[in-house]
């Protein structure tokens, strides 16, 4: 496919191959964008902003709805692209394509609800005759940078609110999974989006990222990805708004009174969704001692039922990791844990990019799988004395996106809600729950700001105050 700059689909001699990680097949190529391409895209987006900021809300709504409709009509095509270029199975990919239509429709809804307020200027002596209000205006050109693991819906989470808010965009999709984003770009143009409003530059983050995020014409960098790139971008961005949706190593606490089967089923899915490459993925499970043995037994039984294999097979439960390099990385992390005393309950087998769903127990504190983000199908289960220990261990990391608790005791649930240091607490569900309209984001190294359309719109617009000095 080609990249989109200044309303034209641009090709280049230098290409990047898009590879299906399951079989190594080259499924397409995209241009290897350069710093010059980034500069041209930003210039086009600056012109695009002159158009987008004047686009009436009813037109923004119509474009977003139409784009959602196109994705819906081509749902299977989108799902096939997601499944082929990334790690997801076809069933997981269909869910993502559906969620993209929800995200775009919510963006259309929220575009009509960008509200302001009147201001009581007469609260200050001398301001009795002043009247006024504030409204929200778009901020300008937004640089949107997205990761590989949800190559369509996470792009929609940036383009939806950016366009709803009247901004223009330069999008840099993940280097390894650019096709879903380009396809969504086509849908936006087909839906009538004035072309300069959306520019998509494909390429390596390490080659074109700095030029994009440091350019003063960019008014906001909206980034979703790993903490390392996030920190680098934050240092470089300078005086502009920053939205950071980063990683985590999410904890689940299972108390002795919980519905064991529900906790197992939900946590297995949360651990291995998208081959564990999921910012909300279940990584650490803290189980109260009376049910620990039972929980581990059931969890391992369920995990062993997972069908690992060709992503496009209808009955496949889990596909490969995004690259063989990533699979080798996690294999080494697990080796480190084993050397330090961890026990492999199942999995820890690799073939190319495929790494079998792996359950560990006895994991000592401080090894990588315990305290860093695994971003792989590896989960560790730990026994705990009580809720206090579960909360303490859950919080003893540098991340804080989602946490979960399984219990039927409302008081314990509320204690966990109030004491867990995270952006979201799921009660009687795993950490891997998100509906696209809810505020979404983390604390600590998990990020800055919130997405979820209404909340992203607040980040992507800013208030302008209007005051009338009247003679009345």
The answer to whether residue 245 forms part of the interface with ligand NAD (CB under 6 A) is yes
Q: Considering only 84-92, 179-187, 203-211, 346-354, which stretch makes contact with ligand NAD by CB under 6 A?
A: 203-211
The answer to whether residue 229 forms part of the interface with ligand NAD (CB under 6 A) is yes
> For 182, what's the count of Cα atoms within 13 Å in the CB-facing half-sphere?
25
- Cα 417 to Cα 278, 334, 398, 423, 438, distances in angstroms: 22, 31, 18, 10, 17
Q: Are 44 and 215 in contact (CB under 8 A)?
A: no
The answer to whether residue 206 forms part of the interface with ligand NAD (CB under 6 A) is yes
The answer to whether residue 215 forms part of the interface with ligand NAD (CB under 6 A) is no
The answer to whether residue 232 forms part of the interface with ligand NAD (CB under 6 A) is yes
- Cα 101 to Cα 105, 117, 321, distances in angstroms: 6, 31, 26
* Catalytically annotated residue among 96, 100, 110, 279: 279
> What H or E segment, with its residue span, contains residue 244?
strand 241-245
Q: Report which of 80, 5, 84, 78 is spatially closest to residue 37, judged by C-alpha positions.
A: 5
Question: How far does Cα 429 stand from its chain's mean position?
Answer: 19
Provide the phi-psi class of 373: left if phi over 0, else alpha when psi is between -120 and 50, else beta: beta
The answer to whether residue 152 forms part of the interface with ligand NAD (CB under 6 A) is no
Q: Considering only 27-35, 62-70, 97-105, 239-247, which stretch makes contact with ligand NAD by CB under 6 A?
A: 239-247
Q: Minimum distance between the CB of residue 449 and ligand NAD, rounded to whole angstroms? A: 10
* Catalytically annotated residue among 85, 96, 110, 245: 245
Q: Which tokens in the block code for residue 426? A: 């799921």
- 417-456: contacts with ligand NAD (CB under 6 A): 447
Pick from 149, 153, 199, 250 the residue near ligand NAD by CB under 6 A: 149
Q: Minimum distance between the CB of residue 162 and ligand NAD, rounded to whole angstroms? A: 16
- 2-31: contacts with ligand NAD (CB under 6 A): none
Q: Which tokens in the block code for residue 402? A: 């989602």
**Is beta strand 402-406 parallel, antiparallel or unpaired with respect to 250-254?**
parallel
Pick from 21, 247, 276, 400 the residue near ligand NAD by CB under 6 A: 247
* Closest residue to ligand NAD, based on beta-carbon distance: 209
Own/partner pairs, 14-21, CB within 8 angstroms, 24+ separation: 16/175, 16/178, 16/202, 16/203, 16/204, 18/85, 18/176, 18/177, 18/178, 18/179, 19/176, 20/84, 20/85, 21/86, 21/87, 21/319, 21/320, 21/321, 21/322, 21/323, 21/324, 21/353
Q: Considering only 43-51, 228-236, 312-320, 347-355, which stretch makes contact with ligand NAD by CB under 6 A?
A: 228-236
Helix 153-164 and helix 179-190, axial crossing angle in degrees, nearest 10: 40
The answer to whether residue 225 forms part of the interface with ligand NAD (CB under 6 A) is yes
How many residues form the binding site for ligand NAD (CB under 6 A)? 28
| x-or-dash string of contact with ligand NAD, 345-374, rule CB under 6 A | ----------------------------x-
- State yes or no: is 279 an active-site residue: yes
Q: Minimum distance between the CB of residue 229 and ligand NAD, rounded to whole angstroms? A: 4
Distance separating alpha carbons of residues 143 and 149, to the nearest angstrom? 19
Q: Considering only 38-46, 63-71, 87-95, 169-177, which stretch makes contact with ligand NAD by CB under 6 A?
A: 169-177
The answer to whether residue 147 forms part of the interface with ligand NAD (CB under 6 A) is yes
Q: Minimum distance between the CB of residue 61 and ligand NAD, rounded to whole angstroms? A: 25
- 383-422: contacts with ligand NAD (CB under 6 A): 401
Q: Report which of 147, 361, 393 is spatially closest to residue 249, judged by C-alpha positions.
A: 393
Measured from the CB atom, the residue of 213 and 413 that comes closer to ligand NAD is: 213
Measured from the CB atom, the residue of 105 and 277 that comes closer to ligand NAD is: 277
Distance separating alpha carbons of residues 94 and 3, to the nearest angstrom? 24
Q: Are 358 and 343 in contact (CB under 8 A)?
A: no
Could you tell me how many helices (H) and strands (E) the chain has, helices first? Answer: 15, 24
> What H or E segment, with its residue span, contains residue 242?
strand 241-245
Measured from the CB atom, the residue of 357 and 452 that comes closer to ligand NAD is: 452
Q: What's the angle, vertex CA 54, arms to CA 49 and CA 56, rounded to 5?
A: 130
Q: Minimum distance between the CB of residue 407 and ligand NAD, rounded to whole angstroms? A: 26
Q: Which tokens in the block code for residue 132? A: 């006024």
Measured from the CB atom, the residue of 346 and 448 that comes closer to ligand NAD is: 448
Pick from 132, 205, 309, 439 the residue near ligand NAD by CB under 6 A: 205
- State yes or no: is 346 an active-site residue: no
The answer to whether residue 375 forms part of the interface with ligand NAD (CB under 6 A) is yes
Rg (CA), the chain: 23
Q: Considering only 22-30, 83-91, 222-230, 345-353, which stretch makes contact with ligand NAD by CB under 6 A?
A: 222-230
Pick from 61, 83, 246, 300 the residue near ligand NAD by CB under 6 A: 246
Residues that bind ligand NAD (CB under 6 A): 145-150, 154, 172, 174-175, 205-206, 209, 213, 224-226, 229, 232-233, 245-247, 279, 373, 375, 401, 447
Show which residues are catalytic. Answer: 245, 279
């Amino acid at each position: 496919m080609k990249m989109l700059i200044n309303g034209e689909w641009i090709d280049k001699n230098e290409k990047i191959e898009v590879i299906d990680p399951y079989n190594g097949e080259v499924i397409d190529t995209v241009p290897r964008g350069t710093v010059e391409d980034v500069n041209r895209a930003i210039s086009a987006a600056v012109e695009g902003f002159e158009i987008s900021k004047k686009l009436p809300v009813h037109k923004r709504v119509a474009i977003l709805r139409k784009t959602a409709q196109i994705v819906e009509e081509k749902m299977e095509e989108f799902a096939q692209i997601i499944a082929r270029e990334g790690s997801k199975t076809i069933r997981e990919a269909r869910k993502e394509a559906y969620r993209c239509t929800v995200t775009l429709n919510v963006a259309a809804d929220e575009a009509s609800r960008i509200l302001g307020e009147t201001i009581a200027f007469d609260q200050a002596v001398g301001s009795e005759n002043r009247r006024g209000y504030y409204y929200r205006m778009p901020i300008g050109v937004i640089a949107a940078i997205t990761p590989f693991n949800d190559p369509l819906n996470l792009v929609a989470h940036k383009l939806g609110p950016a366009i709803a808010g009247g901004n223009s965009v330069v999008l840099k999709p993940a280097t390894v999974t650019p096709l879903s984003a380009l396809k969504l770009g086509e849908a936006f143009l087909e839906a009538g989006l004035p072309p300069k409003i959306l520019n998509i530059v494909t390429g390596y983050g390490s080659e074109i990222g700095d030029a994009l995020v440091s350019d003063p014409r960019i008014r906001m960098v909206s980034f979703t990805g790993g903490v390392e790139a996030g920190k680098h971008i934050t240092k470089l961005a300078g005086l502009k708004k920053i939205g950071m949706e980063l990683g985590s190593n999410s904890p689940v606490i299972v108390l002795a009174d919980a519905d064991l089967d529900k906790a197992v089923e939900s946590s297995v899915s949360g651990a291995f969704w998208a081959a564990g490459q999921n910012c909300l993925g279940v990584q650490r499970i803290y189980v109260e001692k009376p049910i620990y043995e039972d929980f581990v037994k059931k969890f391992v039984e369920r995990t062993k039922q997972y069908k690992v294999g060709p992503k496009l097979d209808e009955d496949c439960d889990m596909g490969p990791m995004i690259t063989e390099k990533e699979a080798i990385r996690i294999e080494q992390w697990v080796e480190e844990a084993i050397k330090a005393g961890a026990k492999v309950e199942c999995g820890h087998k690799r073939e190319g990019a495929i790494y079998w769903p792996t359950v560990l127990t006895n994991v000592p504190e401080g090894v990588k799988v315990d305290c860093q983000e695994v971003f792989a199908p590896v989960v560790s289960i730990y026994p705990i004395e009580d809720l206090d220990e579960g909360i303490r261990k859950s919080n003893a990391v540098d991340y804080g996106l989602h946490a979960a608790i399984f219990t039927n005791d409302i008081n314990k649930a509320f204690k966990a809600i109030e004491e867990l240091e995270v952006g979201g607490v799921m009660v009687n569900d795993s950490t891997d729950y998100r509906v696209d309209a809810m505020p979404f984001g983390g604390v600590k190294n998990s990020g800055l700001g919130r997405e979820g359309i209404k909340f992203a719109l607040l980040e992507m617009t800013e208030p302008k105050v209007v005051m009338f000095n009247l003679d009345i």
